[in-house]
């Protein structure tokens, strides 16, 4: 029973390994077929040349032993070998310094473009799932290397097969026993290697937590973040103690494993390396002495022993490499084959009239508890809606649902009386201009940042307009190339680094620049000092008169201008109404407002 259970996974694993490796191979063939083909050709010719080299040595020493040989004989052996080597080397160097680097870059670009396209349309919820997210990050960072490696490994197997066959052919004609000795030694060294890997993994698991402690102490000492704390207290001593404790613990772990390591090490050195060398040399010396083989044969075999030994080891390593790659490719596949749960509808999006949330429940996948519970609300064209409440009450989650970055677990959202799932996704999302709490400025020009996409000259006016509305004019006049100035120094040494407040204005301009019906602001006032905040709030108020605005606010000072306020607590709407209504009601909102207002009233 148990046996059966174990067998199927192994078979399955092999199939999966093959299929994964083929999957990435297909990706390479799709992106840069030239890369795969050229590497293959390079490996095959190199293998043939390697065999030629062994043959060359044998012939050379045989010639040395031959009676009456002249320099002419020797040169006629050397020159063809030399020329063949030269030609191959020229091609080799050209390939590895010019052609392959270029193809690798192209491969990376093409693979990554595919990944990016996928990432952009991937459900946001994927970012919340750590496992999926890891595989996604992995794909982004190393998939191109892995792909190239699979190709290289496959081609190197071709190389190894040809090279081994050739060398074994030559050596076996001289003495088949040598091949057998090498084969045994390779097997033994593999066994020791496997034992070593196993022990290594074990030691790693024991040592990792200790290492983390060590690294933490080091971080505390060199990061600027901790500098003030260290200087104004005596915590440094404490952290140092922790560090030294961790070092002692590490020494304990090392001691625990040391003996087993020594055993493996000795096994590998003595049984494999030394015995192989000694055994083969003894065997061959004896054979030459009893006139069974020539000195040339002896030279050729000793020359090819290591050659063959390494070929065999690499051959076996290559296969374990496929298994390892397969694990990684699996991640890449999971990511590329992921099917979005949020899919586009077919309907064109009409002009905005109303947005209605009906009986909505929502839970993040990792959470058991609902983040939003039974939410009902309605937003009509031209209204200003404020959403207030404690941290973690579900306010930000709600706007994510409104933008359809997530779909609700229960209930639905209606746009002009129709479920938002029926509309085309990109049109629907484009109808929102959003200023996120954690807005980002991209390494692109001001104009591209404001447009959130490519700039064309006909959009100039709307960019300037949006920046003006976001009160960015003063800063804009300082910028060297106006709206075409590059932001951040990622691509451009001369790029402009904006302050927190200025960056926020760019984010706000982004919302204005869109020809959209709805503006969502997730507490846009955090990075500003009081005066700038005041000015910006006024400007936003002025400029969003004709738009529908939903804003999440922690400062209740901004809620006064709202037509309707929704107060959230623990995922539910607990109060709703205008500022005056809620103040009259004397509930949570009024309490909160009074708390804040108290200090300003005298």
DSSP strand pairing (518-522 vs 548-552): parallel
Closer of 74 and 161 to other proteins (Cβ) = 74
- Under the criterion CB under 8 A, does residue 547 sit at the interface with other proteins? no
CA distances from 255 to 213, 215, 248, 268 (A): 19, 21, 11, 21
Identify whether the C-beta of residue 596 lies closer than 8 Å to the C-beta of residue 555: yes
Among 16, 29, 40, 85, binds other proteins (CB under 8 A): 85
Print the SS3 string covering 479-496.
CCCHHHCEECCCCCCCCE
Closer of 140 and 318 to other proteins (Cβ) = 140
Work out how close the CB of 16 gets to other proteins at its nearest, in angstroms, rounded to a whole number. Answer: 25
Tokens describing residue 243: 């560090």
Q: How many C-beta atoms surround the C-beta of residue 116 within 10 A?
A: 11
Work out how close the CB of 560 gets to other proteins at its nearest, in angstroms, rounded to a whole number. Answer: 5
Torsion angle of alpha carbons 95, 96, 97, 103, nearest 10°? 70
Tokens describing residue 417: 């009386």
Residues 211-230 contacting other proteins, CB under 8 A: 212-213, 215-218, 220-230
Q: How many C-beta atoms surround the C-beta of residue 181 within 10 A?
A: 18
Segment interacting with other proteins, rule: CB under 8 A, options 1-9, 369-377, 470-478, 588-596: 588-596
Distance of CA 38 to the CA centre of its chain: 28
Closer of 66 and 320 to other proteins (Cβ) = 66
> Across the strands, what pairs with 410?
361
200 Cβ contact list (under 8 Å, min separation 6): none
- In this structure, is the dihedral angle defined by the CA atoms of residues 473, 476, 482 and 486, taken in order, positive or negative? negative
- Under the criterion CB under 8 A, does residue 597 sit at the interface with other proteins? yes
Question: Any idea which residue has 């949570």 for tokens?
Answer: 588
Provide φ and ψ at 83, rounded to 5°: -65, -45
Segment interacting with other proteins, rule: CB under 8 A, options 6-14, 168-176, 272-280, 322-330: 272-280
- Under the criterion CB under 8 A, does residue 593 sit at the interface with other proteins? yes
Provide φ and ψ at 294, rounded to 5°: -90, 170
- Under the criterion CB under 8 A, does residue 201 sit at the interface with other proteins? no
Work out how close the CB of 445 gets to other proteins at its nearest, in angstroms, rounded to a whole number. Answer: 9
Cα angle 10, 13, 19 (rounded to 5 degrees) comes to: 145
- Under the criterion CB under 8 A, does residue 36 sit at the interface with other proteins? no
Among 530, 542, 545, 546, binds other proteins (CB under 8 A): 530
- DSSP of 328-384: HHHHHHHHHTPPPSS---SBPP----EEEEEEEEE--TT-SS-SEEEEEEEEETT-E
- Under the criterion CB under 8 A, does residue 141 sit at the interface with other proteins? yes
Work out how close the CB of 473 gets to other proteins at its nearest, in angstroms, rounded to a whole number. Answer: 19
What CA–CA distance (Å, rounded) separates 475 from 482? Answer: 9
CA distances from 472 to 386, 477, 524 (A): 25, 9, 15
- Under the criterion CB under 8 A, does residue 261 sit at the interface with other proteins? yes
Closer of 10 and 224 to other proteins (Cβ) = 224
Residues 487-526 contacting other proteins, CB under 8 A: 490-491, 499, 501, 510, 523, 526
Closer of 18 and 124 to other proteins (Cβ) = 124
Residues 167-196 contacting other proteins, CB under 8 A: none
Among 9, 19, 176, 269, binds other proteins (CB under 8 A): 269
| Per-position x/- string for 9-28, each x denoting binding to other proteins as judged by CB under 8 A, each - no binding | --------------------
Residues 298-357 contacting other proteins, CB under 8 A: 298-299, 302
Closer of 138 and 315 to other proteins (Cβ) = 138
Residues 284-303 contacting other proteins, CB under 8 A: 285-286, 288-289, 295, 298-299, 302
Residues 233-252 contacting other proteins, CB under 8 A: 233-240, 242-244, 247, 250-251
Residues 38-77 contacting other proteins, CB under 8 A: 60-61, 64-65, 69-71, 74-75
- Under the criterion CB under 8 A, does residue 436 sit at the interface with other proteins? yes
Please name the helix (run of DSSP H) or strand (run of DSSP E) that holds residue 577, with its range, or none.
Answer: strand 572-577
Among 14, 22, 89, 180, binds other proteins (CB under 8 A): 89
Tokens describing residue 141: 């960072």
């Amino acid at each position: 029973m148990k046996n059966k259970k174990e067998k199927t996974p192994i078979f399955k694993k092999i199939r999966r390994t093959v299929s994964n490796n083929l999957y990435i191979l297909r990706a390479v063939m799709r992106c840069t077929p030239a890369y795969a083909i050229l590497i293959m050709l390079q490996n095959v010719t190199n293998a043939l040349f390697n065999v030629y080299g062994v043959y060359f040595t044998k012939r050379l020493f045989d010639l040395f032993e031959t009676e009456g040989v002249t320099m002419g004989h020797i040169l006629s052996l050397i020159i063809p070998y030399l020329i063949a080597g030269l030609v191959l080397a020229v091609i080799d160097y050209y390939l590895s310094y010019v052609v392959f680097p270029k193809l690798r870059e192209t491969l990376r670009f093409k693979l990554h473009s595919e990944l990016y396209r996928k990432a952009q349309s991937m459900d946001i919820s994927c970012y919340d799932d750590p496992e999926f997210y890891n595989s996604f990050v992995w794909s982004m960072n190393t998939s191109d290397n892995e792909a190239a490696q699979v190709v290289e490994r496959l081609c190197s197997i071709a190389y190894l097969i040809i090279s081994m066959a050739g060398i074994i052919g030559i050596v076996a004609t001289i003495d088949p026993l040598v091949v057998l000795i090498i084969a045994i030694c390779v097997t033994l060294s593999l066994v020791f290697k496997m034992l070593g890997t196993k022990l290594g993994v074990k030691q790693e698991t024991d040592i990792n937590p200790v290492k983390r402690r060590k690294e933490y102490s080091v971080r505390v000492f060199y990061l600027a973040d901790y500098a003030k704390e260290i200087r104004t207290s005596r915590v440094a001593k404490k952290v140092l103690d922790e560090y030294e404790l961790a070092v002692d613990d590490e020494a304990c772990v090392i001691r625990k494993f040391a003996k087993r390591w020594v055993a493996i090490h000795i096994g590998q050195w003595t049984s494999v390396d030394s015995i192989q060398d000694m055994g083969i040399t003894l065997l061959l010396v004896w054979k030459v002495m009893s006139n069974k083989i020539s000195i040339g044969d002896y030279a050729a075999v000793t020359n090819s022993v290591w050659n063959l030994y390494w070929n065999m080891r690499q051959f076996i390593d290559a296969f374990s490499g496929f298994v390892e790659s397969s694990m990684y490719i699996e991640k890449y596949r999971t990511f590329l084959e992921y099917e979005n749960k949020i899919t586009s509808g077919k309907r064109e999006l009409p002009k905005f009239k109303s947005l209605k949330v009906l009986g909505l429940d929502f839970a993040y996948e990792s959470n058991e508890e609902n983040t939003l519970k039974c939410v009902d609300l309605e937003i009509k064209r031209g209204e200003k809606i404020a959403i207030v409440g404690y941290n973690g009450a579900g306010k930000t989650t709600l706007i994510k649902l409104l933008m359809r970055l997530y779909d609700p677990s229960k209930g639905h959202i209606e746009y002009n009386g129709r479920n938002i799932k029926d509309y085309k996704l990109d049109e629907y999302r484009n109808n929102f201009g959003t200023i996120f709490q954690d807005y980002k400025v991209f390494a692109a020009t001001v104009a591209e940042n404001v447009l959130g996409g490519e700039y064309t000259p006909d959009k100039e006016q709307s960019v300037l307009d949006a920046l003006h509305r976001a009160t960015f004019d003063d800063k804009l006049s300082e910028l060297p190339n106006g709206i075409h100035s590059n932001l951040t120094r990622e691509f451009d040494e001369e790029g402009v680094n904006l302050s927190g407040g200025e960056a926020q204005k760019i984010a706000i301009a982004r919302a204005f620049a869109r020809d959209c019906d709805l503006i969502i602001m997730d507490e846009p006032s955090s990075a500003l000092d009081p005066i700038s905040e005041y000015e910006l709030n006024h400007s936003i108020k002025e400029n969003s008169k004709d738009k529908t605005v939903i804003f999440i606010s922690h400062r209740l000072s901004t809620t006064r201008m709202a037509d309707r306020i929704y107060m959230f607590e623990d995922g539910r709407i607990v109060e709703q109404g205008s500022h005056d209504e809620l103040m009259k009601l004397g509930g949570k909102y009024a309490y909160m407002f009074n708390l804040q207002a108290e200090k300003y009233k005298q």
